[in-house]
Structure 1
């Protein structure tokens, strides 16, 4: 049985990303300048498409984590700035590609780039950003950091393809779904966190701890996103509520609802997600079924489990403002569900 934590109790925890933002502000200004300089191109459409997404107000959590982990491990050079910019470019490229694959209309509260410039431009500018990311990684000169981030690029692509293979399959298991999000979401969080201790020359145990923090935070982050798609507010999500439902995506709330439901409810999921036959009122019916089976509550409870694992991973490190800020960032990611 899951442990129910009251909203008041949750809010009493320091669920804020602000301490992390404050501690990385100076370095993030350098990362942002690097991002702007590296999106430059004589081909005018490239900076137009790239800056449309880059300037659209994302939290830049992943590059912030790269900077934070380098600081936590006592790194004193400049390489973390280029690696953080690389991480953000990798993330932006995956968003541009994802919106084409998912046929999404919205991204971060604005029209997706594909709606303004077309699918071809979105894919090709994503490829340009990946190329720029790898150029910056090479400039840092750490073969191990290059290995971590290039491996992450492969794993993310595998996660996306795995998601295609389970798309619209209502009989997807929870384990299969977790394998998808480990690849497509959590791997970049893990890599972003691991490269900091690597360039700092930290012991393997410290690098593994930072990686574990990122991996578990990434899983928690995605599970909260899954819950928000059925229970969030469009303005806060930066996309339309119910997008996952309309796109036929199998996410954890669906997996749990399908497993726990009766024959009529399973027939509903097969009609809407597998066959793509969505009628007026079906999103509200999906939400009602999820409430009936506590699918959203349990998705959030699982996210809270991975969040605790993320915080435990940093137990190796002595207490410091940066460690406290990283723990508060975990609470922030989970508190978005409330």
Structure 2
């Protein structure tokens, strides 16, 4: 079952609850992505920002702030900041990955060029830092700037780790924390910080975002080998064809005999892939039970997120965030 086929969609409940605040975020995003001197900036940004997507990360910031009793306006600034950071990383990622499609549309680097994508991404990072500073909170600046550095670090680590058979589950987790979880945890943490929540609550929000982001990415990696293209928007085995060493394969390599390891070395490290290799890869994953083991890890991280959010005082949003943690693993449950 794909996320959009689920009977109950917590992210839609959250969006409905936050309609007015998200409208304010969207207004601020449009204002700040404008450029009087370089019209290509809003053209490229609008192509990606207005392409759809659930806007989950900025909603997490708004939700965390409201749940902690915030009644000011800087939650909107921080939500826009989070979305700008996310959009900038997507622009850069598509250049690095030489992607041709995102969210069912041609990527900006395909429609314009790599230079435009990289430079507009840089512009959005700069805008994000301007928005952070306007809150007047050094702690917020520290959290979001730290997340930006962690994201970049994770992407660089992935360049060297994704095709190296010596990559361990620990390194994989570092990559996932960088490319996905860092912005989730920053989004939830700054909501609590701007609301002046007690430290225990701020830590719980961080822990929730961290675990949610890790579960989210593990599910995505798992579905590459057992999902349906119509539900995931990806072809089964895309990660294998792109020689990405994700958790199911890392587990299979760790359990491999000499012959199996030679197969992984040829297909992943050397990129010598032949007809029938994907079927063999799937057979090896099945033989060693790595898909089921990966599924168990995703469910465990989802449970960690639920444990963290349930430590906060009762609130309608807390229930939605609890449901959201279960929802991100609904496709594999």
- Equivalent residue number for residue 3 of structure 1: none
For structure 2, the residue ranges without an aligned partner over 5 or more in a row are none
Q: Distance in 1 between matches of 2:104 and 2:282?
A: 22
**Matched-pair contact (CA < 8 Å) for 1:63–1:85:** yes
Residues 1:41 and 2:35 are matched in the alignment: yes
Residues 1:281 and 2:252 are matched in the alignment: no
Q: How far did residue 213 of structure 1 move?
A: 0.4
- Equivalent residue number for residue 229 of structure 2: 234
- Equivalent residue number for residue 207 of structure 1: 202
TM-score, L = length of structure 2: 0.93
**Matched-pair contact (CA < 8 Å) for 2:11–2:54:** no
| Alignment counterpart, residue 25 of structure 1, candidates 2, 16, 19 | 19
Q: How does 1:90-169 map to 2 (within 5 A)?
A: 90-169=85-164
**Matched-pair contact (CA < 8 Å) for 1:220–1:304:** yes
Q: How far did residue 39 of structure 1 move?
A: 1.6
Q: How far did residue 127 of structure 1 move?
A: 0.5
Alignment deviations for residues 252-303 of structure 1 (CA, whole Å, 9 cap, x no partner): 0110111123333222211111001122332333223222322222212101
For structure 1, the residue ranges without an aligned partner over 5 or more in a row are 1-6
> CA separation of 1:114/1:105 partners in 2, compared to 1, >3 Å: closer, same or farther?
same
Q: Distance in 2 between matches of 1:269 and 1:147?
A: 41
Stretch of structure 1 that moved more, 32-41 or 267-276: 32-41
Q: How far did residue 238 of structure 1 move?
A: 3.9
- Equivalent residue number for residue 4 of structure 1: none
TM-score, L = length of structure 1: 0.92
SS of match in other structure, 1:172:
coil
Stretch of structure 1 that moved more, 29-38 or 237-246: 237-246
Q: Distance in 2 between matches of 1:236 and 1:29?
A: 28
| Alignment counterpart, residue 212 of structure 2, candidates 209, 217, 233 | 217
How many pairs are equivalent? 329
Q: Distance in 2 between matches of 1:289 and 1:304?
A: 22
> CA separation of 1:241/1:33 partners in 2, compared to 1, >3 Å: closer, same or farther?
farther
Stretch of structure 1 that moved more, 228-237 or 163-172: 228-237
**Matched-pair contact (CA < 8 Å) for 1:65–1:193:** yes
Q: Distance in 1 between matches of 2:120 and 2:160?
A: 25
